[in-house]
Amino acid sequence: MRIAKSKITKPMNFGLSTLSLSIAVFSGLLTQLRAQSEINFRGNYGDSKITSIVKFVPPSDQIVDNSRGGASRAEIKCSHDQAYNHSFKALLPASNQGLTVATHPSFLVYLPKTSAPIIHFTLRDENNRGVYQTTVPIVKTGGIVSISLPEDQPPLQLGKTYQWSVALICQPTQTDIPFASGKVRRIELNSSLSSQLDNKNLLQQAFSYGQAGIWYESLVILAQLRKTRPDDQTIADNWLQLLNSVGLEEIAAEPLL
């Protein structure tokens, strides 16, 4: 999906707007990926080729959320759509939430083939106050898309949990709107993990984040590697392993749009 980026400069009005957001823009990661034209996958894991090493180890205080991915609306579709092969869902662990160390994280959802022309993204704080919203024209469907909190927006606050959601804006409009949702909490990168990340390539960083229970970074790094190196079997195996580890294997083969 290629769209122009814009920002909100007035107080939030959570009616639909005509804003647009750059999808699948991982600015920091893209810079690093360009610098690493050839990624060394050996690093601290020995001399043999690495396969299927990245998996997610959830924090001990996270429990399964039975409303995973906005499950109450997962089977709802736009009236003109055919039955979805896979439901509209957020890429999250079974707890339906995840940790991040980023001030402006990216959020991934599986977008089924749909006639909806627009998706609507919202981010709310712990008091259900609107933090950010945007509408995004849909160009491609039937794959995984990413929406990033723009750098010119206020950062996520340390220790705070935010609710985010992505809704399909169906045409014609309808009462029941398909949506996917989840939570994100920003934590500080501790010194132990920081030292583990030093001098590591991106695949090794994804592994370290996954082992530390930091979902968003592990997912986003692997997603960008998968998108930029689609023919790399090592990356494909690790992407599959990560999604398998949180029960998302059914969409592991879906394209990154």
CA-to-CA distance for 226 and 242, rounded, in angstroms?
12
Q: What is the mean pLDDT of residues 121-145?
A: 94
Q: Is residue 14 very low, low, confident or very high in pLDDT (cuts 50, 70, 90)?
A: very low
Q: What is the mean pLDDT of residues 110-137?
A: 95
Give the residue extent of every domain in the chain.
Answer: 34-56+65-246
As a whole number, the mean pLDDT across the chain is 80
pLDDT surpasses 80 at 138 = yes
Q: Is residue 139 very low, low, confident or very high in pLDDT (cuts 50, 70, 90)?
A: confident
pLDDT digit string (tens) for 36-83? 433 344 433 333 344 447 889 888 765 555 444 443 455 688 988 888
CA distance readout (Å), 219 to 7, 16, 183, 223, 257: 25, 29, 15, 6, 15
Q: What is the mean pLDDT of residues 183-196?
A: 93
pLDDT digit string (tens) for 195-228? 889 888 999 999 999 999 999 999 999 999 999 9
What is the residue-wise DSSP string for 61-106?
T----TTTTTGGGTT---TTPPPPSS--EE---TTSEEEE--SS-E
pLDDT digit string (tens) for 81-107? 888 878 899 999 999 999 999 999 999
Q: What is the mean pLDDT of residues 222-246?
A: 94
Q: Is residue 238 very low, low, confident or very high in pLDDT (cuts 50, 70, 90)?
A: very high
Q: Is residue 169 very low, low, confident or very high in pLDDT (cuts 50, 70, 90)?
A: very high
Q: Which of 106, 94, 100, 91 is nearest to 25 (CA)?
A: 106
Please tell me which residue, 57 or 108, carries the higher pLDDT value. Answer: 108
Query: Which class is 34-56+65-246 in CATH?
Result: mainly beta
pLDDT surpasses 80 at 180 = yes
